[in-house]
Amino acid sequence: MAVRKVSQKVKTIDNSEEKIVFLVSSITRIFAPLNIPWHRRRETLTVLFCFLLPWLSVYLTIRFLRADRWYIFGSFLFYLIWMAMIRTYPTKGGYRKQWFRRLFLWKWFVDFFPIRLHKTCDLPADRSYIFGYHPHGIISVGGVGNFASEATGFENLFPDINLRLLVLNSNFQIPFFELILMMLGICDASRESCNYILKQGKGNSILLVIGGPLESLDARPSSEYILTLKNRKGFIKMALENGANLVPVFSFGENDLFEQISNPRGSKLRSIQITLQKKMGYALPLFYGRGIFQYKFGILPRRHPIDTYVGESIEVPKLSKERITQEIIDEYHIKYIEALTRLFDTHKAKHNNANASLVFVDDPSR
């Protein structure tokens, strides 16, 4: 009996050592092993497909423009005319389809990381909200996974909140790709679009990535989250004009998906990136993640958990434009930063960020 107990202990120790060896080898491994479970391959292919969607849409556009048959070319030309002259949904609340947002494809997408949505309080559906998403990351993967689909259960956590994720208008200039955005309920981030949605009232809300494209230039794994928020106050004024409550949202892990080539503030590379952003409307961070069959370099994000916390809402009164002063805007801007910091400090230790901090910086283009 004694010998048997000793042998069992030795076996347990051996097993634990095997687990440690396996863990270390998985961390240092460069190429993907052949025995990866099917569900993980499926998730990787789904993320690859989603990341390539804009480029696949461009390819289809070129093919249709070069079509030999006149009726194919003519139909596509009519589609382009409709996009340019008739289409209004990007600024009129989108054309959201819940069946499309519930597709199994989006579940595979969020399971790759995985992406998880955490509710910290109830949000009554008798008013509108402006959700502020932080940080931007390279491409706001957590924002798309949580708020442009139902894969993480937003409709169950916040019933009757009709939320629209807002993105740059340039995304709606890509044929076919804009149809996918339309059915996901994604809209243009223009002031016209924001006001149209918020004026519908009763749960109709918007989600803005407050830091904008410039914040992506600071997106890299770090214990410091650099947020372009210090002089971003337009969303506060919009909230006051529409009487929309403010809701801070923070995603732990958003900045850990990609590495980025060093571009410190004041460097020549950062200056070029800011100049290009002013001219094109979007930033060009030089980033890299993992590949399809290897983990060292590629366009795909790394498998890293993204935990998104929706904070408590900040009550905002509805004021006429004449009554909105800079002092009032500054007051609610401070309240928003305090609420965001409180949300961050409350949950950071749960995600290996106990010593992490928020750094608020100015938008250098203003």
Q: What is the pLDDT of residues 170-192, one digit of tens each?
A: 999 999 999 999 999 999 999 99
Are 25 and 174 part of one and the same domain?
A: no
Q: Are 190 and 151 in the same domain?
A: yes
Q: Is residue 89 part of a domain?
A: yes
Q: Domain for residue 146, yes or no?
A: yes
Query: How much is the average pLDDT of 76-100?
Result: 94
User: What is the reported pTM?
Assistant: 0.89
Phi, psi angle pair for 282, to nearest 5°:
-135, 155
Domain span at 160? 35-361
Residues 297 and 167 both lie in one domain: yes
pLDDT at 365: 67
pLDDT digits (tens, 9 = 90+) for 3-61: 333 333 333 333 333 333 333 344 456 777 777 888 899 999 999 999 999 999 999 99
Residues 161, 263, single domain; the answer is yes
What are the tokens at 187? 């809209």
**Mean pLDDT, residues 199-215:** 93
- The answer to whether 270 touches 235, Cβ cutoff 8 Å, is no
Helix, strand, coil share of the chain (percent; to 5): 50, 15, 35
In this prediction, residues 237-251 reach a mean pLDDT of: 97
* Same-domain check for residues 47 and 26: no
Given this model, what pLDDT does residue 29 score?
62
Neighbours of 105 (CB within 10 A): 13
Say yes or no: 288 and 207 in one domain.
Answer: yes
| 23 and 42 inside one domain | no
Same-domain check for residues 7 and 52:
no
pLDDT value at residue 33: 75
> pLDDT tier at 277 (50, 70, 90 boundaries)?
confident
Residues 263, 163: one domain?
yes
| Cα 263 from Cα 321, distance rounded (Å) | 40
Q: 170 and 187 share a domain?
A: yes
Residues 282 and 138 sit within 8 Å (Cβ to Cβ): no
Residue 366 lies in a domain: no
Give percent of the chain above pLDDT 70. 91
Count of domains in the chain? 2
For helices 234-242 and 191-198, angle between their N-to-C axes, nearest 10 degrees:
30
Q: Is residue 84 part of a domain?
A: yes
25 and 159 assigned to the same domain: no
pLDDT of residue 11: 36
